[in-house]
Amino acid sequence: MSKTVPFRMPAAKSQAADAWVGEGVEPHLKLTEIEQAVAAPAPIAMKRFTIDVPVELHARAKMICAQRGKFMADEIRRLLEAEFPATS
């Protein structure tokens, strides 16, 4: 009993993929978008903040943030900034 297994040669590499990797930028971005990404300020150092909240409060906050199209973390940061403004 013999079994034959067909072998196929791998497809040739796409030149576009090699060119895209070689350029180091995404070709669909416009030059102004690339410049903005390069000139963006360094990210702010973050610290994890864990608190316990009632299930009902968490559910309300999550639902309202979803309705507004916002992330809960962003909204909570905004509330904390409003309550504890930076003093100069």
Q: Which tokens is 10 given?
A: 């791998």
Q: Tell whether 45 is covered by a domain.
A: yes
Answer whether residue 58 is part of any domain. Answer: yes
Domain encompassing residue 74: 15-83
User: What pLDDT shows up at residue 26?
Assistant: 59
Number of domains the chain contains: 1
Closest CA relative to residue 65, chosen from 54, 73, 53: 73
Residue 24, phi-psi category: left (phi > 0), alpha (psi -120 to 50), beta (remainder): left
- Domain assignment present for residue 9? The answer is no
Query: Is 5 part of a structural domain of the chain?
Result: no
For position 18, what pLDDT does the model report? 63
Residue 23's pLDDT is what?
57
Is 71 a member of any domain?
yes
Tell me if 3 is assigned to some domain. no
Region for 26 from its dihedrals, namely left if φ exceeds 0, alpha if ψ lies in -120 to 50, beta otherwise: beta
The pLDDT score that the predictor gives to residue 14 is: 67
* 72, 63 contact by CB (below 8 A): no
In the prediction, which pLDDT does 22 show? 56
Q: What is the pLDDT of residue 85?
A: 92
pLDDT tens for the chain, 88 residues: list them: 678 888 887 777 666 666 656 555 555 656 665 566 666 677 888 899 899 999 999 999 999 999 999 999 999 999 999 999 988 7
| Distance from C-alpha of 81 to C-alpha of 73, rounded to nearest angstrom | 12
